[in-house]
């Protein structure tokens, strides 16, 4: 038997109702902050992720699904492509490709969709997973660098988690500095690593040379005591970064968004500058990061675009749904009415009546004329419908139907014209 591939899964009803609820709530909250949707392709040129997320990151060096497309002619080399492991790179590529900076103000874009990383699957961690994310990006003259943008994004997230009734989230905040102070910090890290690096794992030995910040991504237990002694980025921020970070905190405090500072938080992607953050949620165990994000002020230029500072985040939708399930959340709507056609030719009558009621906004489940009354009522009960409408030849001729309230068993005769209103009133 062929099964879903390891790390991928089918999402089935009624769980999909919860997914829709999360997505719909996100759309509503984002609309309130005047964000609009962008949809980018699921696969992109491999070089896009190498240049943005970074070659030395786990995502690019170990976890990407890459493949070679065929060239147009047999002699032509194919293009190296990758399934997107995240969506920020695609959004910034689209920003550059479509010259979105020519539009007024900053661009406030959100997206939802599958991402792909070849990680070891476990609860809350999949190889095809779903992100709901947003990016604010634009020319510096439009205010894209302002700490007000950081605070707005974080406030929007707090609002969304509250609207989803996800409780006890923790916002961890850090500043990872900018292009000016990164070289000094990298140098300090290299110096601190030099005497100890030969005791560390092979990955860290390489990172210490190529990209020392990535040492913080190491999960090897033996390396952790060394990593704990390394200098923190907070000691190396220049005045501009310090002021920016202080302003972000001040606005958040004023807006009533609680946070904690964590100067070990560096995030596992290379494009971050200044503000970096994660929201964690205790109920998720090891995979407790429900979302992550931050600023990426140099990313557009790294991809060949104009200066376009930006900030954004991505929510792990799988993890949000898990948190809601753990909290016992249920959403979804049972059918309002089950139409029970009784006898030959009644399927047609039922289809007609069903269509009328659905037009009036009622959720209708249709029965089958081959069922007897007993089986019809049993089926109606299984669909959890509130009412059943019994539709036999007499009813079709008289246009008066038997409306049965399934919980109480009470039954009344209702003319066709009043049926929708009666069902609505009782639901
Ligand atoms: P990220 O931290 O790599 O950031 O991913 C964001 C979130 O996606 C994580 O916090 C987690 O909830 C979820 N996630 C990541 N990997 C998996 C997985 N294998 N299975 C289930 N959920 C997962 C980014 O992707 C950045 N693009 C966020 C961003 C947007 N930064 C700026 N703008």
C-alpha of residue 289 to centroid of ligand 1, in Å: 8
- What's the total number of domains in the chain? 2
Could you tell me if residue 191 is inside a domain?
A: no
DSSP per-residue string spanning 198-245: GGS-HHHHHHHHH-GGGGGG---GGGHHHHHTSPPGGGG--HHHHHHH
Q: Whose CA is nearest to atom 13 of ligand 1?
A: 316
Same domain, 282 and 174: yes
Q: What is the DSSP string of 274-300?
A: EEEEEEEEGGGTTS-EEEEEEE-TTHH
Which of 326, 349, 380 terminates a domain? The answer is 326
Instruction: Convert 67-88 to b/e letters by CB count within 10 Å (16 or more is b).
Output: eeeeeeeeeeeeeebbbbbbbb
User: Which residues surround ligand 1 with Cβ inside 6 Å?
Assistant: 86-88, 117, 119, 124-126, 129, 131, 133, 135, 268-269, 289-294, 312-314, 316, 318-319
Reduced to 3 states (helix: H, G, I; strand: E, B; else coil), residue 320 is: helix
- Alpha carbon of 135 to ligand 1 centroid (Å): 13
Residues 51 and 119 in one domain: yes
Q: What is the pLDDT of residue 367?
A: 95
Q: At what angle do helices 147-163 and 15-32 cross, to 10 degrees?
A: 140
Residue located nearest, by CA, to atom 1 of ligand 1: 292
CATH of the domain at 48: 3.30.930.10
277/390 same-domain check: no
pLDDT of residue 195: 94
> CATH number for the domain including 389?
3.40.50.800
* The last residue of a domain, from among 300, 326, 352: 326
Report the chain's C-alpha Rg in angstroms: 28
Range of the domain at 385: 337-421
Are residue 360 and residue 307 in the same domain, yes or no? no
105 is a domain residue: yes
How does pLDDT run across 95-124, given as a tens digit for each residue? Answer: 999 999 999 999 999 999 999 999 999 999
pLDDT of residue 71: 80
Find the mean pLDDT for residues 183-192. Answer: 93
Residues 96 and 73 in one domain: yes
94 and 135 inside one domain:
yes
Say yes or no: 131 and 152 in one domain.
Answer: yes
**Cα 230 from Cα 223, distance rounded (Å):** 11
Choosing from 60, 62, 86 the residue with most ligand 1 atoms within 8 A of its CB, the one to mutate for a pocket test is 86
Q: Which atom of ligand 1 is nearest to the CA of 85?
A: 25
Distance 269 CA to ligand 1 centre (A): 10
Work out which ligand 1 atom sits closest to the CA atom of 59: 3
Predicted TM-score of the model (pTM): 0.94
Ligand 1 closest atom vs CA 291: 10
Residue given tokens 């190491």 in the structure block: 218
* pLDDT tens sequence across 326-372: 999 988 888 999 999 999 999 999 999 999 999 999 999 999 999 99
Question: Counting atoms of ligand 1 from 1, which one is nearest the CA of 295?
Answer: 32
Separation CA 263–CA 242 (nearest Å): 13
CA of 290 to the centre of ligand 1 (A): 8
Bridge partner residues of 108 (DSSP):
136
CB atoms within 10 A of CB 234: 18
User: Per mean pLDDT, which range of 137-146, 277-286, 353-362 is the poorest?
Assistant: 277-286
């Amino acid at each position: 038997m062929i099964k879903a591939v390891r790390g991928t899964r089918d999402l089935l009803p009624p769980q999909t109702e919860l997914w829709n609820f999360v997505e719909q709530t996100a759309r509503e909250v984002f609309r309130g902050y005047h964000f609009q949707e962008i949809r980018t392709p699921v696969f992109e040129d491999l070089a896009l992720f190498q240049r943005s997320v970074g070659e030395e990151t786990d995502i690019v060096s170990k976890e990407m699904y890459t493949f070679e497309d065929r060239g147009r002619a047999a002699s032509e080399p194919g293009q190296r492509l990758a399934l997107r492991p995240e969506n920020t790179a695609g959004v910034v590529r689209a920003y550059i490709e479509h010259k979105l900076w020519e539009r007024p103000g900053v661009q406030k874009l959100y997206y939802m969709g599958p991402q792909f990383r070849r990680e070891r699957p476990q609860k809350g961690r999949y190889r095809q997973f779903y992100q709901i994310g947003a990016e604010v990006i634009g020319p510096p003259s439009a205010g894209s660098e302002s700490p007000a943008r950081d605070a707005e994004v974080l406030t929007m997230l707090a609002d969304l988690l509250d609207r989803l009734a996800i409780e006890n989230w923790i916002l961890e905040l850090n500043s990872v500095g900018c292009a000016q102070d990164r070289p000094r910090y990298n140098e300090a890290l290299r110096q601190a690593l030099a005497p100890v690096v030969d005791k560390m794992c092979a990955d860290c030995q390489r990172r210490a040379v190529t990209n020392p910040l990535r040492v913080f991504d190491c999960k090897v237990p033996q390396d952790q005591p060394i990593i704990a002694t390394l200098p923190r980025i907070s000691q190396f921020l220049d005045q501009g970064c310090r002021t920016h970070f202080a302003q972000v905190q001040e606005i958040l405090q004023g807006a009533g968004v609680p946070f904690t500072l964590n100067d070990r938080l560096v995030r596992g992607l290379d494009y971050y500058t200044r503000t970096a953050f994660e929201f964690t949620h205790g109920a998720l165990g090891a995979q407790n990061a429900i979302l992550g994000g931050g600023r990426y002020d140099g990313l557009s230029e790294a991809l060949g675009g104009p200066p376009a500072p930006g900030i954004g985040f991505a929510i792990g939708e799988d993890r949000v749904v898990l948190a809601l399930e753990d909290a016992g959340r249920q959403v979804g709507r049972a059918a309002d009415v089950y139409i029970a056609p009784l006898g030959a030719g009644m399927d047609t009558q039922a289809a007609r009546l069903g269509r009328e009621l659905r037009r009036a906004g009622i959720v209708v489940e249709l029965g089958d004329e081959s069922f007897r009354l007993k089986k019809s009522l049993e089926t109606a009960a299984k669909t959890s419908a509130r009412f059943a409408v019994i539709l036999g030849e007499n009813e079709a001729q008289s246009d008066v139907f038997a409306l049965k309230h399934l919980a109480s068993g009470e039954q009344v005769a209702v003319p066709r014209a009043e049926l929708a209103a009666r069902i609505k009133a009782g639901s």
